Amino acid sequence: MSGDHLTLVVSGPSCGSLSASSVRTDTGGHAVTHYQLPQFPMPGYCVIRATDASRGTGATEWHTTCGRQNLVFVTAEPTRLPADGRTTSAVTADYADCSGIAGAVLTLTLSGAACGSISPASGTTDLGGAVRATYRASTVPGTCTIAAAGGQGGGEGVVVTQASG
């Protein structure tokens, strides 16, 4: 029916997200929302339930395989530092693969003309798939890219900017 209000809920271990959790049907009785894959897709299932208070609930379920295998995602906080040789940034390299996430060895690399240092330069992922390290700013203003690879995978790095004080 036209104008029905639907509430959408995503559940399951392999789910991404919806662009809207509440939609109205159009004149043809159709509703549209967009599904976004999770950052680290893993094998499993996902269920999307649509509930209309006056008509009940309908659901669709699907099983997934790992679409983007062996992905490494690097973050740093903060990404802007003074070029003082002392200030640090917390770096996390998150790893996911189709067979699990713990136990992969990741190596962190620095590239750019203004790189400081990172410690440790490699590590074994924890149960959540992460390796944590500390980046120390250089004394040279500019940018440094921190990337990670290992466990048969790699990904884009994060850029840290060091500004003169």
pLDDT at 90 over 90: yes
Structure tokens belonging to residue 1 = 């029916």
* CB 20, CB 31: distance < 8 Å: no
- Confidence class of residue 59 from pLDDT cuts 50, 70 and 90? low
Predicted TM-score (pTM) above 0.85:
no
So what's the pLDDT on residue 138? 96
What DSSP character marks residue 84? Answer: S
- Write down the domain spans for the chain: 5-64, 71-163
> Out of 3.90.950.10, 2.60.40.10, 1.10.10.10, 3.40.50.300, which CATH number does the structure's domain 71-163 have?
2.60.40.10
